[in-house]
């Protein structure tokens, strides 16, 4: 599972996710209201906050499909050896 910080960053971009509802790795971000402008802004926020840089190959809508995939992508940049 992801850390609190990740969830805190993500939630403001998911207007259809009620505060009391859990964010799961399988949650489809588009269904929760992540639009294309939100995706671009989320990318910038994640990069700034985690001090990472998404590779060009990761700049696809697939990367932002679910919370789990996005978390794995961030993790793989934070801990390149582990992946």
Q: What is the DSSP string of 22-83?
A: PP-TT-BTTTTT--HHHHHHHHHHHHHHHT----GGG-SGGGGSBHHHHHHHHHHHH-GGG-
Q: Return the residues of window 9-28 that contact other proteins according to CB under 8 A.
A: 15, 19
Asked whether position 51 contacts other proteins by CB under 8 A, the answer is: no
Asked whether position 8 contacts other proteins by CB under 8 A, the answer is: no
Residue 11 has what DSSP assignment? G
Q: Which stretch binds other proteins (CB under 8 A): 2-10, 24-32, 43-51, 72-80?
A: 43-51
- Residues forming contacts to other proteins in the complex (CB under 8 A) are 15, 19, 36-37, 39-41, 43-44, 47, 53, 56, 59-61, 64
């Amino acid at each position: 599972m992801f850390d609190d910080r990740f969830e805190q960053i993500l939630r403001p971009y998911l207007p259809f996710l009620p505060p009391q509802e859990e964010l799961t790795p399988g949650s489809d971000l588009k269904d929760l209201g992540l639009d294309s402008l939100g995706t671009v802004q989320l990318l910038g926020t994640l990069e700034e906050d985690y001090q990472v840089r998404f590779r060009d190959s990761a700049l696809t809508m697939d990367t932002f499909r679910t919370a789990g995939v996005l978390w794995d992508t961030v993790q793989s940049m934070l801990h390149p050896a582990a992946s």
